[in-house]
């Protein structure tokens, strides 16, 4: 998929978030990268680059105190090639982007990986 189309799908995923979440996104940039860098793979301890679909780097809102200010934005990276490697068709790519964007934004709001895995598992059971 062309990079521009992929970026449009990421922007659409953000636009599709409920308004209460969109309004509370503070000091965060969402970027598209082709592949995770080696340092990004070490941090969450992924073995293979195709395993890491997105990554939140920053200070979750739940940990921001009074002294939080004048800092660089948090960064959410959405990795195009790993997502494409896991999906066959454009509609699957779009659904996976939506999932990954929601997952990484949940980290921005303070949810940890274990909690998110439980929520995602329960959601899959209901389908």
pLDDT in tens, 36-65: 988 888 766 667 788 899 999 988 888 887
SS (H, E, C) 47-108: CCHHHCCEEEECCCHHHCCCCCCCCCCEEEEEEHHHHHHHCCCHHHHHHHHHHHHHHHHHHH
pLDDT in tens, 66-120: 877 778 899 999 999 999 999 999 999 999 999 999 999 999 888 888 888 887 7
Q: Provide the token pair at 15.
A: 């636009």
Sorted by sequence, the CB contacts under 8 Å of residue 16 that are 6+ apart come out as 98
pLDDT in tens, 100-115: 999 999 998 888 888 8
DSSP 45: T
- The total domain count for the chain is 1
Structural element, H or E, at residue 29: strand 28-33
* C-beta separation of 97 from 13 below 8 A: yes
For 96, the domain range is 3-126
pTM for the model: 0.87
Residue 76 sits in a domain whose CATH number is 3.30.2010.20
């Amino acid at each position: 998929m062309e990079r521009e189309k992929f970026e449009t799908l990421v922007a659409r995923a953000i636009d599709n978030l409920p308004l209460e979440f969109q309004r509370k996104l503070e000091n965060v940039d969402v970027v598209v990268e082709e592949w995770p860098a080696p340092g990004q793979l070490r941090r969450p301890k992924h073995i293979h680059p195709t395993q890491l679909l997105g990554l939140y780097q920053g200070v979750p809102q739940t940990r921001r105190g009074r002294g939080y200010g004048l800092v660089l934005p948090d960064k959410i990276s959405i990795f195009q090639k790993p997502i494409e490697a896991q999906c066959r068709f454009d509609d699957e790519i779009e659904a996976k982007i939506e999932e990954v964007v929601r997952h990484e934004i949940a980290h921005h709001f303070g949810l940890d990986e274990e909690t998110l895995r439980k929520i995602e598992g329960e959601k899959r059971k209901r389908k």
